[in-house]
Amino acid sequence: MIVVMSSGAGEEDILEVEKKIKSFGYDVHRSKGENRTILGTIGHPREDVREAMEVIPSVEKVVLVSHPFKLVSREYQFDRTIIKAGNIEIGGNKVVMTAGPSVFEGKDFYLQAAESVRKGGADILRGGIYKPRKYTSDFQALEEKGLQIMAAAREMTGLPVMTEVVDQYSVEIVSRYVDIIQVGADNMQNFRLLRDLGQLKKPVLLKRGMSSTIEEWLMAAEYILSNGNNQVILCERGIRTFERFTSNTLDISAVPIVKELSHLPVFVDPSSGTGNRKLVPSLSMAAVAAGADGLLVDVYPNSPDALSSQSQVMEPYKFAQMVASLRELAQAVGRTI
């Protein structure tokens, strides 16, 4: 249930309504729009509560939310959420390019990768510090040493940095070093981790689980928002289907669907979404045309030498060429890159 305050409601009016809502046993989340304040109630909606709210003079209307996710919904907040990472705005008119190697392999390697993607048009640096792998024999990345290298790359390039956390125990140390924390597909429904991330005041990029519905994905984001952190970026990264020509099936249709349902920014990861570097430029164009607010691209200075995901990583010059092409497309759909 959502309570929309009238445009003339003052702080005392809002506090009075919040107190009334809590008296029915609900938690309350406040959202301040340009002209109105919206109060979202956490709990099962009841008709008697709706009626009690509607008779309060400072309340303009009460809306029973039609979806199980409330705080992430456009019904709760119609205006788009804009998230800041360094000097970059996410969710506005600019399509944000996030690039770098998904697996960290050393300082010289990463600084070279960081500089190359910066020159190629990246706005945010990515890098896998804690990298969960399918096989124990696979390269597992550099952990805290890698975080220190990422901080050095941020100093060198001036770009904000992003990496993935693998469990709730890594949240505290990762949050000290990076600008955006990524939750991978395997952890989308790690609810303890999501709750801990909700305690932070730092952007979180939440990847869609490979077998998750859009509703399950948005409900995972709801866990983060309901614990106090509204700086969530949703990232479509491909889902598991019966198709064998790609490692996953990139669900481009999820972009306009989620943007209609939610006020949160939406990214697309065409590298993980296909597992094939040759498909990344085409699907990046499709993502921008569909309304994506950003892209997440796996870029490696020398792709044949990559210790992980060799088939999906792009070389820097290919990334730069792709960004140049995307700029023209973005302009055609009223966006910038």
Amino acid, single-letter form, for residue 243: E
Looking at residue 139, its pLDDT comes to 46
pLDDT by position in tens, the chain (length 337): 888 888 888 899 999 999 999 999 888 888 776 667 888 887 777 888 888 888 999 998 888 777 788 889 988 888 899 999 999 999 999 999 999 998 877 888 899 999 999 999 999 999 988 655 555 545 455 678 889 999 999 999 999 999 999 888 889 999 999 999 999 999 999 999 999 999 998 999 999 999 999 999 999 999 999 888 999 999 999 999 999 899 999 999 999 999 999 999 999 999 999 999 999 999 999 999 999 999 999 998 865 555 555 688 899 999 999 999 999 999 999 999 9
Dihedrals phi, psi of 37, to nearest 5 degrees: -105, 135
DSSP 7: T
Long-range contacts (CB closer than 8 Å, 24 or more residues apart) made by 16-21: 16/56, 16/58, 17/53, 17/56, 17/58, 17/59, 20/52, 20/53, 20/56, 21/49, 21/53
* Residue 63, H or E segment: strand 59-63
DSSP 256: H
Are β-strands 161-165 and 180-183 bridged in parallel, bridged antiparallel, or unpaired? Answer: parallel
Looking at residue 133, its pLDDT comes to 52
CA distances from 75 to 80, 140, 189 (A): 12, 42, 24
DSSP 167: S
Q: In residues, how long is the chain?
A: 337
Looking at residue 145, its pLDDT comes to 85
CA distances from 215 to 25, 41, 70, 290 (A): 26, 19, 11, 19
Collapsed DSSP state (helix, strand, coil) of residue 225: helix
The string of DSSP letters for 112-148 reads HHHHHHHHHT-SEEE--SS---SSTTS----HHHHHH
CA dihedral 156, 160, 162, 167 (to 10 degrees): 100
Residue pair 284/97 in contact by the 8 Å Cβ criterion:
no
pLDDT tens digits, 263-311: 999 999 999 999 999 999 999 999 999 999 999 999 988 655 555 556 8
Angle at 84 between CA 228 and CA 172, to 5 degrees: 50
- Both ends of the chain: CA-CA distance in Å? 37
Residue pair 162/124 in contact by the 8 Å Cβ criterion:
yes
How many whole angstroms separate alpha carbon 138 and alpha carbon 119? Answer: 30
* Residue 207, H or E segment: strand 204-207
Looking at residue 144, its pLDDT comes to 81
Residues 6+ apart with CB under 8 A from 138: 307, 308
Q: Residue 4's beta-bridge partner residues?
A: 38, 61
Dihedrals phi, psi of 164, to nearest 5 degrees: -95, 140
What domains does the chain contain, in order, with CATH numbers? Answer: 2-63 (3.30.70.1140), 83-332 (3.20.20.70)
The string of DSSP letters for 11-57 reads HHHHHHHHHHHHHTT-EEEEEE-SS-EEEEEES---HHHHHHHHTST
Q: pTM (2 decimals)?
A: 0.85
Helix axes 254-261, 214-226, angle to 10 degrees: 40
pLDDT tens digits, 152-178: 999 999 999 999 998 888 899 999 999
Please classify residue 6 by burial: count the beta carbons closer than 10 Å to its beta carbon, then call 0-12 exposed, 13-18 middle and 19+ buried.
middle
Looking at residue 37, its pLDDT comes to 84
Residue pair 272/237 in contact by the 8 Å Cβ criterion:
yes
Dihedrals phi, psi of 206, to nearest 5 degrees: -110, 110
